[in-house]
Amino acid sequence: MTEQDRTSIATRVGELEARTGTQVVTAVVGKSDSYPEAPWKAFALGTGAAALACVMWQLAAGGWSVDASPTGHVLVILGSGAFLALLTILFSPFARLFIDRTRRDVEVTQFAQSLFFRRGLDRTRGRVGILLLVSLFERKVVILADEGFDGRVDVPDWGALAGRITLLLRHATIPMAMRAGLEGMEAMLLERGFTGPGLANDMPDGVLEIEDER
């Protein structure tokens, strides 16, 4: 994000907090987990497919020769596996093919929960802390809110808002989707009776940008 984007989101967060009396932290993380299994799964696929191709090619050529050296086949098989493993490191869309969606969703939620407590959102006055997390690799948005919202804003309400922001990420830039999400959050909170003036600002309004969770 550009500095202008960061300033715009921080300003929008400040306005939301002042109008609703809540405390909001926005965060963008590159990846919520390292997913070490992705390269290994790709390597297994590459070596398996290459081994099958070598067998089929050898049979088509008239079968195996006793004097034939296996070195060439071994290099092809290992090279194919290494190539696919490398692709998972370089290209996120390819890596996602080897990670179950449920696992991705669990990792984002766990990362969001950890960040919620690390940033002290459970210790705001009035227990009105909110975390809006965008995890780029998983293409998922999670919103977590403290117990001060219980009874007026339920978990399905936060989930529906997060779902709308996730859809926006497919068609808009990250800053645009986040600003639209903050506007939707403010409208929902005002509708449910959360109005200012806000409490003293306990949290920074700027976007937390985290490259990767290792």
Confidence of residue 24 (pLDDT cuts 50, 70, 90): very high
| Alpha helical stretches, state H, 62-197 | 71-90, 92-96, 101-118, 155-171, 174-191
Least confident residue range of 86-100, 146-160, 188-202? 188-202
Cα separation, 181 vs 155, in Å, equals 16
Least confident residue range of 24-28, 138-142, 180-184, 207-211? 207-211
Residues 138-193: tens digit of each pLDDT: 999 999 999 999 999 999 999 999 999 999 988 889 999 999 999 999 999 999 99
Q: What is the pTM of this model?
A: 0.86
Sign of torsion over alpha carbons 179, 181, 183, 186: negative
Coil, helix or strand for 123? coil
